Amino acid sequence: MPALDQQHLVIDSHVDSSLTDNIKVDPKVDPNSKLIELFIEAPEMQRELKTKATLLRDFTDVQYYTDGSLQRDPTSLDSMGLGWVNVNQETVCFSASAILWPSSTKAEILACLAALIVSAPKAQVTLFTNSAATIAGFDNLNRLMQQSVRKREKTPNFQIWMTMDYIIRELDLNVIMIKVKAHNGDRLNDRADTLAKDAAFHAPRLNLNYLALPELALGLTCDNLTVETSSRRCIKQLFEAKSFYDTLQLQRHADLETLTSQQHINWSSTSFMLNHNTSENDRASTSFRQHKLRAFKYKLFSDELPTLVRFKIRRPDLYPEDACLNCQRQPETQTHLWSCTSHQAKWRHILNQAADLCYHIFQQHNQRTLPTKEAVLQLIHESRTFIAKGIMSQRCFNFVHTHIHSETTTHMVIAQVYNFVYRQVFNNI
Ligand SMILES: [Zn+2]
């Protein structure tokens, strides 16, 4: 029955044509749009980047100034801003913001990625950047892609690097990065710098969909946030944070918890100080002297110094009395050790000596912005309650940090002064 067959065919072809109408397959799919849709999450940002890609479509030799900026925000989340300015067409520029695992390098790499994703296929791309770390990471890209997942994971921002590598391969770009000096007076470099700085807190967020990468089979999320760092390190840090939180919840640390929530304690510096035991005369880290100092600091920190009150609780048969032997007025608690009237003169003397030492160290490290001797003396005396608890105040850290710019050196200076005080207290009180 030929008539029926023919009718059948007509129906089939009709179905076919309606399908193709819906999909609208363009024989030459624009590879930039494809990548933008694949990796960029926000639809508005997709549209913006597609427009830039269209504007730059005809440039086979394309150049950008890129910049990233990290803006600290002590009250909330640190934010990163990133931006690029196109050299071929200066009106074409882009900026965005990003958060989480903030670093100036991450901001810079994202800026480079945002420039590459709009570059025309097969183009020769030159990126001018002031970030040496980004250039080093880019030079290492081939090696990174050959590493095992486990090894690759340890490289900071590995997902962004992998995305960048994928974009370069898909668009068949030839990319070179050139180091420029920051604030060198170059007009476009300065514009990229301003774009990035202004973007940090105001521009729309650039979120990348890493799972779109064929090479990345698994993404780790925590509270719906993609973990953009080594999974091992992240889990370790989470558990450390949890145990730190649990420690703070202990009754003996109630005051520490209050101080922490009011941001009065600098914990990284406190931890450095508690563990820093070497001195000029004693560089080995395992001598008895240092072991004693370390034990003293930890006992002080956890309110476990061997005071009479503690002895009385432990061995009431041997220690029936817990009154301070020096003043006979109050029970000898750890707090009383510092406030006992009979120690006040010695304690003041030790703090004065510590202030001298601190000032002397400032002189060694710094020529320009030296604080006055009175200011240092006041700082040390005002820090006495913190010193007595084995913790570091945020105020003390900030004071030293404004005069000694390196953070590591700041930790070291404060630890030296604290260690001096503890050694004196240990030997004299
Ligand atoms: Zn006393």
Can you give the residue ranges of every domain in the chain? 6-231, 251-428
How many angstroms does the Cα of residue 325 sit away from the middle of ligand 1?
7
Tell how far the Cα of 337 is from the centroid of ligand 1, in angstroms: 7
How many whole angstroms separate alpha carbon 411 and alpha carbon 205?
34
Distance 343 CA to ligand 1 centre (A): 8
- Please give the distance, rounded to the nearest whole angstrom, from the Cα atom of residue 329 to the centre of ligand 1: 6
Rounded to the nearest whole angstrom, what is the distance from the C-alpha of residue 339 to the centroid of ligand 1? 7
- The rounded Å distance from CA 338 to ligand 1 centre is 9
How far apart are the CA of 374 and the centre of ligand 1, in A? 29
Q: How far is the CA of 305 from the centre of ligand 1 (A)?
A: 15
Distance CA 24, CA 11 (A): 20
Q: How many whole angstroms from 418 Cα to the centroid of ligand 1? A: 23
> What pTM did the predictor assign?
0.67
CB 417 within 8 A of CB 361: yes
Give residue 425 CA to ligand 1 midpoint distance, Å.
15
CA of 324 to the centre of ligand 1 (A): 5
Please give the distance, rounded to the nearest whole angstrom, from the Cα atom of residue 277 to the centre of ligand 1: 29
Measure 331 CA to ligand 1 centroid, in angstroms. Answer: 8
pLDDT, position 16: 42
pLDDT for the residue numbered 367: 65
The pLDDT of residue 150: 85
Instruction: Check residue 15 and give its pLDDT.
Output: 40
Query: CB-hemisphere CA count at 13 Å for 402?
Result: 9
> Which string of DSSP letters, residue by residue, matches 60-116?
SEEEEEEEEEEE--TTS--EEEEEEEESSSTT-EEEEEE-SS--HHHHHHHHHHHHH
Q: How far is the CA of 96 from the centre of ligand 1 (A)?
A: 61
The reported pLDDT for the residue numbered 14 is: 39
271 alpha carbon – ligand 1 mean position (Å): 30
CA distance 299 to 243: 19
Ligand 1 centroid–CA 326 distance in Å is 5
Selection from 426, 413, 422 nearest residue 357 by Cα: 413
**Is CATH 3.30.420.10 the right assignment for the domain spanning 6-231?**
yes
Contacts of 107 (CB under 8 A, 6+ apart): 68, 69, 70, 80, 81, 82, 98, 196
Determine the Cα–Cα distance for residues 260 and 214; give it in Å rounded to an integer: 44
Residues 6+ apart with CB under 8 A from 115: 64, 66, 84, 86, 94, 125, 127
Residues of the chain where predicted confidence (pLDDT) is lower than 50: 1-25, 27
Measured in angstroms, how far is the CA atom of residue 346 from the centroid of ligand 1?
A: 13
Predicted pLDDT at 8: 43
Q: From the CA of 352, how far away is ligand 1's center (Å)?
A: 21
CA dihedral over 46, 51, 52, 54, signed as positive or negative: positive
